[in-house]
A and B are shown apart, each in its own frame.
Chain A
């Protein structure tokens, strides 16, 4: 195939714009694929695609968001093969929708369980909890909380409305925080008593929701 566009100059321009984002793409790739080998392949793939599509990139616009769009599309296309995991999302979404434990009444005492809870978390537990999320939630959490993209940028990356980003992010975070609580108890970061207190709150609110549903 003859190609007039990809000269050395184009490549230098592409490299100067894109290689700064290699670390970010790789760390997001790790959280998406959950293993180094696949993450490396995914990132390589992403860069090659981005380079081939480089003439489609509008100069002066957000290169990082553009690269992440290619990364997530590449990932989703490969990922689509595993249909089963995707169907889990709906159930998990419903479950996450009922979670409320972070919004519980603040207490005046110094032993405010959640405040300490997040501050004391081990990074390994955070990573494990992210990896447990179903893919649709994992994507928005990675983009918002690890890569610090704005809602609008995420909407563009995932090609969906901002409202969808916000609701997925909210539910994803709740689900993640529930996973975190489990790990935090396991690794002794949160005392069983505190966890009890938090989960009692969760159960109380779940019961409240069920009661409302029953009445409806």
Chain B
């Protein structure tokens, strides 16, 4: 087999067998195959591999069908506002509906499913990339001093009573705005990384669902598989970004002291 044919096998022949090509492209490949024993062999081999995979994938019969339907029915019933009117508390619910409408019109619709704030998206991208730190430091006070003068806004680094240990700081940009990314690791969580994104954000709304934790309004959202908890302190937005479960994120937010 020539070197060229090997390359063809890799990028082309799998894709050909996988049905990725148009009719025209298929015809071209077939022309080549007619004169090339090596590639014909590779195609047959890949076909036999794929057939073996499909043979192995006999769908397991499962007990789920009814379960899933029941759960969906429950979900549906729980979410149905109309049902409330069958209950004695109908008036209170009606008042609630009016309240909700007012809240909605006031711009209060914040839900994890609504498009994530692009600031958070950018922050998550920074967290996911794990770029080198600009300043490696374990003491929050030194980190805060280092940040002073480098950003055009003042920063208060939280002290974590437990859980997260400071690793260092990096400067960056999110959503075309200056930002600091503070990196922590969790000694109790396999040394996992947590990023605290700090940005001066004039937007009136933070993404996600609001919750009150340790006397702070905290917004929880998700982006690209990461959990994000954001809060404001002196008009500066602090967002903890990690792959921790929601419960663990909340515990971490609870442990963060802003002094």
Residues of chain A touching chain B, judged by Cβ–Cβ distance below 8 Å, are 1-8, 10-11, 14-15, 19, 22-24, 26-27, 30, 36, 40, 43-44, 47-48, 51-53, 56, 73, 76-77, 80-81, 83-84, 100, 102-106, 114-115, 118-119, 121, 123-124, 126-127, 130, 141, 144-146, 148, 150-151, 159, 166, 169-170, 173, 177
Contacts and interface: CB of A to CB of B under 8 A. Distances in A.
B71 A80 contact: no
Given A27-B59, A126-B55, 15 more contacts: A1-B79, A11-B73, A22-B62, A30-B60, A36-B62, A48-B71, A48-B72, A73-B225, A80-B225, A84-B190, A102-B45, A102-B46, A118-B49, A121-B52, A141-B53
A20 B41 CA distance: 37
B45 A118 contact: yes
A127 to B, nearest CB: 5
A124 B57 CA distance: 10
A119 B52 contact: yes
Specify the main secondary structure of chain B where it touches its partner: helix
Given A80-B225, A118-B45, A144-B18, A14 B72 contact: yes
Interface stretch (B9-17, B142-150, B163-171, B232-240): B9-17
B113 A52 contact: yes
B30 interface: no
A123 B96 contact: no
A45 B1 CA distance: 49
A146 B54 contact: yes
Interface residues of B, number: 59
Contact of B79 (A5, A36, A47, A148): A5
A22 to B, nearest CB: 6
Contacts of A104: 1
A151 B15 CA distance: 9
Q: Is the interface of A mostly helix, strand, loop or mixed?
A: helix
Contacts of B14: 166, 169-170, 173
Contacts of B6: 100, 103
B79 A166 contact: no
B20 A151 contact: yes
Interface in B57-99: 57-60, 62-65, 67-69, 71-73, 75-76, 79-82, 84, 93, 96-97
Interface string B226-251: 00000000000000000101000000
Nearest to B48: A118
B37 interface: yes
B50 interface: yes
B37 to A, nearest CB: 6
A64 B107 CA distance: 34
B68 A103 contact: no
A2 B20 CA distance: 45
B225 A76 contact: yes
B72 A2 contact: no
B51 interface: yes
